[in-house]
Amino acid sequence: MKIIVNISLVLVVLLSSTVFAAKPKKSAKSAAGSKKAVVEPNKPAAEPNAPVGETLAISVSEPNTVPAPGATKAKDANQSGAVAATVNGAVITEGQIEAILNPHMEQKAGRIPENMVPQYRQQMRKRIIDQLAVEEILAQKEKQNNIDVNQSELDQQINKLVAQQNLTLDEFKALLKAYGTSFSDYQQNIRKRLMFEKLMDMEFAQKLQKSTDEQAKAYYDENIQQFNEPEKIHAKHILIRTAEDSNDPNQANARAKAKAQGLLEKIKAGESFEELAKQYSACPSAKDGGDLGMQPKDTFVPEFEKAVFALKPGQVSDVVQTSFGYHIIKLIEHKDANTVSFSQAKDKILEDLADKQKEQIVVEYIQKIKAEADIKYVNEADKLEPQISGTKSGPMRRQTEKVQPSDENKPASEKAVEPNKD
């Protein structure tokens, strides 16, 4: 059984790690290319699955996460060989620590009160050493168990990840470069993650117990609120924006409205809504024929919301004005609020119950190998006191329990659908 546990979350919880937040230097390709990646037309789409929030750039990172700038460059940034700690005889150097710590402190400059900087830096140093110690122990365990990943396995996994990002390999490499890391460093991170998965497969085979239908039903009954789904609509739209550089806003506004009205007349005359959207819409959804995907009620700005929920499937609205411009809306499907039945939810619950077990197995395994390891610190003040409280993940909550990016930096597919509320 292959590991599908959120390893990044587990190690963050286990190590109490703080994370490196960073924005790309430039965009390789907007995430607005995917069908659901539709954001406000006047805001750039965030990079797909960009690393944000507060998480250490651990080697066995979440598979769809681009390493934070500087994190994968640790070996190049500082070659100081002074020993900070040893792990079963293997050395952790000051260079390794500083190469991660210094970029992080630069990113935090001005965001931490000056009198708190020394304390914050020391706490981060402890966490980085602890992280590096765990990575070293895992590498030793993998070597003891003759675990390796060949080039074919690595290529297959990376190709899968690139496809999930809706990018070509060259675009993905450009995206990595924009985040300050190299493709070879990313390959190394993926190789380590795959090796860790193989190591944990051995643990799962021995300890994982198959959840029963009765357990799944009990969870369903106890958490029925999780299975309530709001009213949803699936719509497409064409957005005509008012020229922002016009000397006469009223005239620009009138031109945009007239253009939208002209397109509406073409739709009424039988021309393809989707083709007109591709040709004229100013929304990133244009390349998908204006498709906004299935979205819950209260996703849109009030004017758009009122218009779209007044339509019947297949109907096209009149021209609708919002703060983004003028819209023509086509309703594809309208779903009433409902509760997912147990039969519909059962497979997902069983999967998530298994994931919850896996996360606990990972936590216990890391605790065990840390306790068994001979870790020596040159300075005992570098030792991180354990702060383990277990994982919070549970059935049907796997995605929401991850370290979440702020709305400003979320992947476009996770942002509120354009036209978004203020």
Strand-by-strand arrangement of the 375-377 sheet: 90-93, 83-87, 375-377
Q: How far apart are CA 137 and CA 60, in angstroms?
A: 13
| Domains of the chain by residue range | 7-30+47-211+344-404, 231-336
Q: Pick the closest to residue 332 from 310, 316, 354 (CA basis).
A: 316
Query: Contact, 100 vs 57, CB < 8 A?
Result: yes
pLDDT over 70 percentage in the chain: 72
Spatial distance between the Cα atoms of 23 and 236, rounded to a whole number of angstroms: 31
Q: Distance between CA atoms of 186 and 167, rounded to whole angstroms?
A: 16
Could you give phi then psi for residue 44, rounded to 5 degrees? -70, 145
Provide the whole-model pTM: 0.58
Q: What percent of the chain has pLDDT over 90?
A: 63
Give dist(CA 308, CA 315) in Å, integer: 9
The answer to whether the CB of 49 falls within 8 A of the CB of 303 is no
Reply yes or no on whether the pLDDT at 106 is more than 50.
yes
Residue type, 217: K
Q: What is the pLDDT of residues 311-343, one digit of tens each?
A: 999 999 999 999 999 999 999 999 999 999 999
Distance separating alpha carbons of residues 331 and 311, to the nearest angstrom? 6
The mean pLDDT value for 76-86 works out to 74
Q: What is the pLDDT of residues 208-227, one digit of tens each?
A: 899 999 999 999 999 999 99
How does pLDDT run across 150-181, given as a tens digit for each residue? 999 999 999 999 998 888 999 999 999 988 88
Rounded to 10 deg, the angle between the 94-108 and 117-144 helix axes is 130
> 7-30+47-211+344-404 domain in CATH 3.40.50.150?
no
Say how far apart CA 312 and CA 171 lie, in whole Å: 40
What's the mean pLDDT in 7-18? 36
pLDDT at 76: 42
Q: What share of the chain is helix, strand, coil (3-state, %, to 5)?
A: 50, 10, 40
Over residues 51-77, the pLDDT tens digits come to 222 333 333 333 333 333 333 333 443
pLDDT in tens, 238-297: 999 988 767 888 899 999 999 999 999 999 999 999 999 999 999 999 999 999 999 999
Instruction: For domain 231-336, give the CATH number.
Output: 3.10.50.40
Alpha-helical segments (H) within 223-301: 249-268, 273-280
Residue 327 CB contacts under 8 Å (≥ 6 apart), including other chains? 237, 238, 239, 240, 260, 304, 307, 317, 319, 320, 321, 419
The mean pLDDT value of the chain amounts to: 78
DSSP string, 48-68: TT---SS----SS--TT-PPP
